[in-house]
Every structure is written in structure tokens, then in C-alpha cells.
Chains A and B, each alone.
Chain A
Amino acid sequence: MPQAPIFDPAKKWQNFHQTYLQIVEGTWDLHLPRLAADGATSMEDLKETTRQFQALIAEARAKNLPLRAVGSRWSLSKAPTTSGWALNTNRLRGRMKVAAADLDPAYPGTADQKSGLYLFQCGNTVADVNKVIEAKSQQRALFTSGAANGQTIVGATACGTHGSALDFGALHDHIVALHLIATGDRHYWIERKSRRVMGDAWIARLGAKPMREDDDLFNAAVVSFGSFGIIHAVVLETAPRYLLETNPQTLKLDENLWKAIGALDFSAHPFFAGKGRPYFFQAVINPSNDEVLISANYRKDCPADYVPTYGLMQKDGALGPGFDSLSLAGVILDHFKGLIPRFGKAAAASLFDTNARTGTPGEIYGYKAPQLHVASGSIAVALPDARRTLETLIQLYKDIGPVPLVLGCRYTRRTPALLAFNRFDIGLMISIDGIDSAHSRAFFAAAADRLEAQGIAYTQHWGKSNAYTADRVKAAYGGNVAKWRAARRQVLPGDSDRALFDNSYIAERGLAG
């Protein structure tokens, strides 16, 4: 007998990093049914979980309670919050290899892509995905990754996590199909018309309604922060397994380095001499001085017998910041601004890896020491605006005084998702990371105003602290907002259907209703 969902009536719900508290009407914990005798994830598991989700949606609707699925509670924004029931999905870690026999004949993937498709249930973390596909038996890898691995794959992608590879889009660009549970009696299998993946027979066995008459519905649902219903599972395309070699160094910010940071021109600075264009490039600018922590990761072949090892490491007896050290640091720095540059340097060292390493993407973008009360927001701009944007933010830093934040620069390609953070052909994604404090919050609040005053087009990360308003969302996405809302009405046609998945986060951004 599968385990039924278990209700926890606790009213207080906090995100993982404890940057906010949300009052809910309780949390339902769902469990992986594990109905197959051999323990492998089966179609029956997917159907039973679907049935449980639908029963909870129907019950919530009967009680007039909103609800949302939540995974790792990783978001620093309130995107995943609800005032009703939270459905905890982090035990739903079913995973399947997609069999060639189940593919749609129209799937346009290459032979390699056909052999590298996986279905993951919503509770799998990015760490889980890496462990599964990077195993010696699978020999696959993600094309790109966020800096952390604790988010669920659905939580990270639904909030538009941008990734970090120079020639790939966002993390959600791995997804080619998704299973959406929208109401108590309707669930959908959504793909792009231009990239059909699963065969009709398989979708019929699942009992889902196929939705692939156009690309817009998929492009809307894939970045919808839980607003379209519950994304129960996703199918990912993967890359052949590879290694990344990284050797971070701290450099002075001079004109040659600006060419790399501001224009991805790696020809001028000696750091890149003889190595060429990296697969992944990151520059962490400390605005309190002219130091930049550079990471250029180069792609290498991965030996077939390579066995990745994952997990946090520390030396016995090492001294470092505690789990909750940043909350006190934030209070101290609000009163002693003179200490901020020193703390900024320490925070950068704590938040970003500085050791030379070689490993799979899952090893390189692996476990981080957990820390509460981090401050993090991200802004994306087009590459031609990169230097001007960074100089504007550095000037803002100087204008409002030292702030315990650093500017992490990463670069990605545009994605087709309608409300994608990766909105620009080549985008600079500026991750503003540090310690939660009054000064940090003032910086976040002023950053968007300052870019607008400079006439710089930008987007903001949906899953991090952001200053989006309805007007700013319209300015960033134009006609895509109407398309996104129309797509939402396709899967949630009734006002009351949509009200279940509305929350204050999307209401404040003009996306509810």
C-alpha cells in the first residue's frame, strides 16, 4: 500500500535560508509510492502520485484554500509561498530512463540525445539529478548548472535559474517535456510542437492529456514558479559526461580584464593565454576594491571509468563561519560600516569556491556549506550593456557606502521560455551575493532604479530577492506577459482554478488572476 500524504498542521513555514516566514494552513508531505517489486520507479508510481496530488487539489478547492507545491524551500523570493496548503515534494524522487521505444517518431533529437533522456519526479534535487546521470553506468551530464545543488530540479527551473555555460541557455533548457497536474480531474503532458518527445501510447498510459499544439504553452509553463499547477515530472535532455577543470585566481581589475568581463574577449588578458575560450566563466567583483576572483572552467573528456565523489569537505579542527553566523554579521555590519570591505572579502571566499579542481559538473557545482540569512539577488543584461551596468552598480555601491555584497558575473545564452531570466542573446547575469543587512536591502532596492535611470534593459531572477513590479515585468517581457497569462488560462480555465495557484508574489507582479 502506498503511503498516503501526511498532514502537518504547523502554521509557520520558512524558506531554507530563513530569510522570511510565511503563515500557511499546514503542510502535506507526499511520499514516493515505490510500487514496483524491484524498487525501480515505475509508471504505477507516477500514476499514484498523480492521484494523490489531484485528491489534494480537489480537497483544497472544496475548502477554498490555495495551495502550492514546494521542494527544497530554496527560493529567496516568495515565489513558492501560499497562504493555504504547502505540498512538500522532496520525497518524490522517482527517476526513469526514457526508452527509445517510448519516443514520438517525430522527436528530432540526435542518436546521442535519444540515448540521454531522463524523466525526473519533482522532488529530485539538482544533486540527485547529477548523481543519477553522472554515474559510471549512465555517462551523462547536465549542459549547465546553477552555483548550488540543493534546489529541486523543478523548483530551480520553474524559477528560471540561469545556468552558467557560455554557449548554453538556462537550466530549464534541459527540459523537453513536463507533466503538469492542474486540477482535481485534469493533468497534462506538455511539450513544444517543434520538439515532440514522448509517444502517444506512453502519454495515454500515464492518463495525461497531451498538449503540444504550439510552443507557447510549454515556453510559458516551464518558467511559471508554481502558478500553472503542480509540475510533477520533467524529461531532461543531457550531454555526454565531461569534466571541468578550474583554477580560480584573484586578479586586478584592469582594462584587459574588463575586455573579458565586459565583452567576453579572452584574447587580451594573460590569464587566458594559451587556454582560449572557457566553457564556463565567472568573475566575482568586490566593489570595495579592484580585486576580481576569476574562475574559467575548461571542458575535458571524462574517462569512462571515472567515479565522481560528492559531498562537503572540511579539515578536522578547521575554523569557519557557523550555520547562522551571517545573521549576527548583518547586524554588526549595519552599525560598523568600516568593517564591510573585510567582511566582503571573507564572504566572497565563503560563498565562492577558490580551490583548483577537476571534476564532473555535479562535483564542481556541488554541495556548499549551508548558511542562513544570505542575501542574494540577480540582474541580467545584454552583453553590450555589461560594462556600463557593472560600472553603474559599482558607482551605486560607492554612493550608498560599503555594502556586504559582491557582484558575481556569469554569462549565458537566450532561452525561449516566455518569462525567462535569460532574455538576451548573450546575457551577463550579475549575482549580487552577500550578507543580509539593511545596507544590502537598500542596495537591492536601488539597483533596479539606477539601471532604469541609465536606460539599461534588464531582467531579474524570479527565485532570488528582486524588485519586480507589474510595470517592471511588462517592461522586461512586453507581449510575452499576455502570452504567459493566456497559456495559464489554457490549463487553468476557471477563475477558481487559477485562484488556487495564485499567491501574493505573482499578484504583485501583475501575473495573478
Chain B
Amino acid sequence: MRKRHLFVLTASLATGGCMQYLVQPPAPSLAGSPHEVTANSYLGSELQQPPYVLAKKCVDGEQLARVIVKRDFGQGLLSWITFGLVAPATVVYECANVDEPGLGNTSGGAR
């Protein structure tokens, strides 16, 4: 029973330190693989490292299809004990296919 309580306490602490937000359009069209960037926010977001998360892997006019901002237990703990002065997070982004390719025709031209 004690073990269970310990587990619940640990799980609560762990979940308290974690967060994850997913942003995506209703019908995403993913291009390429997910890309992970570690970002740090300092002094209540007065400073950020890097200054902005650049989705460098989105090429040829691709925009973003999906962004996940997450913080693991260690990142959450650091943010908590520094009262938010140091707030690291991990940003995962995926690029979006540029647009719908035109429907071609095997005989040539559009259909």
C-alpha cells in the first residue's frame, strides 16, 4: 500500500512538472520528419535562447503543420525552483506540404 502511495505521489509530481501543448490545423498535411529544438526562456521571457525558434527545415515555402511545446519533469522542476526565471522547454515542429499539387493527366496537362 505504501508503495502505491509512493507511486501516486511520484506520478503526481512528475505530471505536475510536465506539460505539453499541441498546435495544429484541423487537417494537417505533414512534410518531412519532426524536428526538435531546445529553447530557454530567462527572466520571465525577457530573454529567450534562441531568440525565436526558427523552423529551418521547412524549405521551398513550406509553413508549419504542427508545433508541440513540451516540458519534461527536469525542465519543469528547474522552472519551478527558479520561480520562472529559467524556463527551458522543448519545441517539436513539423513542416506542412506547401499546397495541393494539381491533378495531372497521364496524357499530359491538368485534369
Q: Assess whether A328 is in contact with B20, with CB atoms less than 8 Å apart.
A: no
What is the interface size of chain A, counting residues whose CB is below 8 A from a CB of the partner?
56
Q: Assess whether A97 is in contact with B106, with CB atoms less than 8 Å apart.
A: yes
A453 at the interface (CB under 8 A from B): no
Contact with B along A470-496 (1 / 0, CB 8 A): 000000000000000000000000000
Per the 8 Å Cβ criterion, residues 29-66 of B in contact with A are 29-34, 57, 59-60
Q: Assess whether B22 is in contact with A323, with CB atoms less than 8 Å apart.
A: yes
From B26, B29, B59, B110, A312 is in contact (CB under 8 Å) with B26
Q: Assess whether B97 is in contact with A40, with CB atoms less than 8 Å apart.
A: no
Q: Assess whether A8 is in contact with B33, with CB atoms less than 8 Å apart.
A: yes
Which of B7, B57, B60, B104 lies at the interface centre, i.e. has the most chain A CB atoms within 10 A of its CB? B104
Least Cβ distance of A449 to chain B in Å?
A: 31
CB-based A-B contact count at 8 angstroms: 115
Cβ of B31: which chain A residues have Cβ within 8 Å of it?
90-91
Cβ of B60: which chain A residues have Cβ within 8 Å of it?
3, 31
A101 at the interface (CB under 8 A from B): yes
From A27, A41, A101, A328, B103 is in contact (CB under 8 Å) with A41
Complex CA–CA separation, A348 to B69 (angstroms)? 27
A367 at the interface (CB under 8 A from B): yes
From A41, A73, A101, B102 is in contact (CB under 8 Å) with A41
Cβ of A41: which chain B residues have Cβ within 8 Å of it?
101-104
Q: Assess whether A95 is in contact with B103, with CB atoms less than 8 Å apart.
A: yes
Least Cβ distance of B17 to chain A in Å?
A: 12
Cβ of B25: which chain A residues have Cβ within 8 Å of it?
311
Q: Contacts A331-B11, A332-B11, A335-B4; is A90 near B32 (CB within 8 Å)?
A: yes
Per the 8 Å Cβ criterion, residues 24-46 of A in contact with B are 27, 29, 31-32, 34, 36, 38-43, 45
Q: Contacts A90-B32, A332-B11; is A367 near B27 (CB within 8 Å)?
A: yes
Complex CA–CA separation, A96 to B108 (angstroms)? 9
Q: Assess whether B4 is in contact with A96, with CB atoms less than 8 Å apart.
A: no
Least Cβ distance of A270 to chain B in Å?
A: 37
Per the 8 Å Cβ criterion, residues 324-342 of A in contact with B are 324, 328, 331-332, 335-336
B2 at the interface (CB under 8 A from A): no
Cβ of B70: which chain A residues have Cβ within 8 Å of it?
324
Q: Assess whether B4 is in contact with A97, with CB atoms less than 8 Å apart.
A: no
Q: Contacts A95-B104, A96-B106, A323-B68; is A310 near B27 (CB within 8 Å)?
A: yes
Least Cβ distance of A98 to chain B in Å?
A: 5
Complex CA–CA separation, A127 to B68 (angstroms)? 22
Q: Assess whether A367 is in contact with B26, with CB atoms less than 8 Å apart.
A: yes
Cβ of A312: which chain B residues have Cβ within 8 Å of it?
26-27
Complex CA–CA separation, A61 to B2 (angstroms)? 58
Contact with B along A66-97 (1 / 0, CB 8 A): 00000011000000000000001011011111
Cβ of A34: which chain B residues have Cβ within 8 Å of it?
101
- Of the A-B pairs whose beta carbons lie under 8 Å apart in the complex, a sample of 14, sorted by A's number, is A6-B59, A27-B33, A36-B104, A40-B105, A41-B102, A41-B103, A42-B108, A91-B97, A313-B26, A322-B20, A322-B22, A323-B22, A367-B26, A370-B22
Contacts A39-B110, A336-B4 known; list 17 others, CB within 8 Å.
A3-B59, A3-B60, A29-B32, A31-B59, A38-B102, A38-B110, A40-B109, A40-B110, A41-B103, A93-B100, A97-B111, A99-B107, A102-B106, A131-B100, A138-B103, A310-B27, A324-B20
Please list the 3 inter-chain residue pairs (A to B) with the smallest Cβ-Cβ separation, ordered nearest first.
Answer: A311-B26, A40-B102, A41-B104
